[in-house]
Amino acid sequence: MKKLLVCLLSALLLGGVAFSATACAPRGETLKILTWLEYIDEDYIKENFPAFFAEHTGGKISKIVVDTFENNEDLYPQIATSKKDYDIICPSDYLAERMIKEGLLKAIDKTIVTGYADLDPAILAKVAEFDVGKTYSFPYAWGTFGIMYNTSHGVTADDVNSWDALWNPEFQKHIVMRDASRDAFVAANIRHNRDALLNAKNNNPGGYGSTAYQSLLKTMFTSSDDQTIADVKGELIQQQSIFYKYGGEETKEWFQDNDPNASLGLYWSCDAGTTMPDNTNLRYSLPEEGANFYTDCYAISTYAKNPTAAQWFLQFMTDTDAAYANMVASGAPCAVTAANDLFRSEFEETFDDEYADGLFDSAEDKADFLDNFLNTVMFPDAETLLRCGVMRDYGDRNHLVEQAFIDVKDAQVNK
């Protein structure tokens, strides 16, 4: 865990109860979780969930298994095809929508998971876009995707106000793209429709909140017709002449370590949340024409062998301390309002008292970093979120979008 984030968690973890994981625990005493890489505080869960479960049920959890994946396209076949034995899984919005349609998720028992009153209504409203009754999807973490940039490489906020930045020849071979088909597809689609989006925003009362803008923004996340796929493929193939490379988890290291080739790139805010405190040259931007609001949800697999423990785990995650600990680990805000408030206050205090001395050239630079981290990365305001759409399932067109991205990468290899 990174230096600043360790400081944030240290007080919370003091006095934690030791958890002994029995190697051969019965399956009924085991909770199995499949979640994103570096997205969960495994120690906190192992130290605290067994006691929580015993207190509320009288039952026993003697082993917790946490396995990880890097993107939704890795998660899906593990459940849909291989029917792997997991109780809790963590699909993002559009994949949760698909898995609901395909009967791959169990309904949440709201007689057990009673903590919804502690969740942010605005986040629950986003969940309702893909899970109408909030029946299958528990919002674990949320955030955006935008553009990460390194100010020490001469990149400024004005340079990255649009997705055009990732196609700008000025940054030849210094642009990185996340190796995630949906993210690359949507970013390229928004860029392709930049003028139309800004016209809808600028020429209608209400701006970003206008019906015209919101309707068009929604199509950036739902359209997968042949023409859209062809346009997006063209954008992404064009980009290859100037970008550095596609990357997965290693993109975090490139930015964190000031890789000279990683000056700007497509980035998730949760990754910004963990890399920026270790490299205060970094900043994050949400382009003016539009971006993405994502929700990563905990859900119960239809193949869960310990669904009772899974239900109680969801309730456990409504606890402020549990939500806060996992929020620090993931770098993403959560749906528990009190945990978000705690993070903001703790970060500001820890940043000033224990961390920031000597890292900035001026008080203005320090204030700029703190403002960008808290108000763009972690907690963008309601006006900003109006230009962030929710990804949706493409239905029977999913395979065509996936194939388009494969074709794009093949063109890169073969050129």
Question: What pTM was estimated for this model as a whole?
Answer: 0.90
Residue 185: per-residue pLDDT: 97
User: With bands split at pLDDT 50, 70 and 90, how would you rate the model's confidence at 356?
Assistant: low
Residue 20: per-residue pLDDT: 42
Residue 10: per-residue pLDDT: 46
Query: Which has the minimum average pLDDT: 9-23, 116-130, 248-262, 367-381?
Result: 9-23
Residue 3: per-residue pLDDT: 47
Residue 355: per-residue pLDDT: 60
- 91-123 pLDDT per residue, tens: 999 999 999 999 999 999 999 999 999 999 999
Pick 20 or 247 by higher pLDDT. Answer: 247
User: With bands split at pLDDT 50, 70 and 90, how would you rate the model's confidence at 353?
Assistant: low
User: With bands split at pLDDT 50, 70 and 90, how would you rate the model's confidence at 359?
Assistant: confident
- As a whole number of angstroms, the distance between CA 395 and CA 228 comes to 15
Pick 81 or 9 by higher pLDDT. Answer: 81
Residue 361: per-residue pLDDT: 81
Residue 351: per-residue pLDDT: 80
Residue 242: per-residue pLDDT: 94
Residue 24: per-residue pLDDT: 75
Q: Which domains does the chain have, with CATH numbers?
A: 3-142+295-344 (3.40.190.10), 143-293+371-414 (3.40.190.10)
What mean pLDDT do residues 60-73 have? 95
Residue 114 burial class via C-beta count within 10 angstroms: exposed 0-12, middle 13-18, buried 19 and up: exposed
Residue 6: per-residue pLDDT: 46
- As a whole number of angstroms, the distance between CA 68 and CA 47 comes to 19
Report which residue type is found at 389: G
Give the largest Cα separation in the chain, rounded: 64
CA atoms within 13 A on the CB side of 370: 19
- As a whole number of angstroms, the distance between CA 261 and CA 264 comes to 9
- CB 166 within 8 Å of CB 283: no
Does residue 83 carry a pLDDT above 80? yes
- As a whole number of angstroms, the distance between CA 270 and CA 141 comes to 9
For residue 265, the cross-strand partners are 148, 176
- As a whole number of angstroms, the distance between CA 61 and CA 193 comes to 51
Q: What percent of the chain has pLDDT over 70?
A: 92
Q: HEC states along the chain?
A: CCHHHHHHHHHHHCCCCCCCCCCCCCHHHEEEEEEECCCCCHHHHHHHHHHHHHHHHCCCCCEEEEEEECCHHHHHHHHHCCCCCCCEECCEHHHHHHHHHCCCEECCCCCCCCHHHHECHHHHHHHCCCCCCCCCCEEEEEEEEEEEEEHHHCCCHHHHCCHHHHHCHHHCCCEEEECCHHHHHHHHHHHHCHHHHHHHHHCCCCHHHCHHHHHHHHHHHHCCCHHHHHHHHHHHHHHCCCCCEEECCHHHHHHHCCCCCCCEEEEEHHHHHHHHHHCCCEEEECCCCCEEEEEEEEEEECCCCCHHHHHHHHHHCCCHHHHHHHHHHHCCCECEHHHHHHHHHHHHHHHHHHHCCCCCCCHHHHHHHHHHHHHHHHCCCHHHHCCEECCCCCHHHHHHHHHHHHHHHHHHHHC
- 272-317 pLDDT per residue, tens: 999 999 899 999 999 999 999 999 999 999 999 999 999 999 999 9
- 215-239 pLDDT per residue, tens: 999 999 999 999 999 999 999 999 9
Does residue 396 carry a pLDDT above 60? yes
Does residue 56 carry a pLDDT above 80? yes
Residue 348: per-residue pLDDT: 86
Pick 22 or 227 by higher pLDDT. Answer: 227
User: With bands split at pLDDT 50, 70 and 90, how would you rate the model's confidence at 4?
Assistant: low
- As a whole number of angstroms, the distance between CA 355 and CA 10 comes to 14
User: Is the torsion defined by CA of 399, 130, 92, 147 positive or negative?
Assistant: positive
Q: What percent of the chain has pLDDT over 90?
A: 86
Residue 350: per-residue pLDDT: 81
In the block, residue with structure tokens 């906020």: 157
- 148-157 pLDDT per residue, tens: 999 999 999 9
**What's the chain's average pLDDT?**
92
Residue 8: per-residue pLDDT: 53
In the block, residue with structure tokens 């071979």: 173
Residue 19: per-residue pLDDT: 45
User: With bands split at pLDDT 50, 70 and 90, how would you rate the model's confidence at 80?
Assistant: very high
Please state, in angstroms and as integers, the Cα–Cα distance from residue 183 to each residue in 54, 232, 325, 414, following that order.
Answer: 41, 12, 27, 23
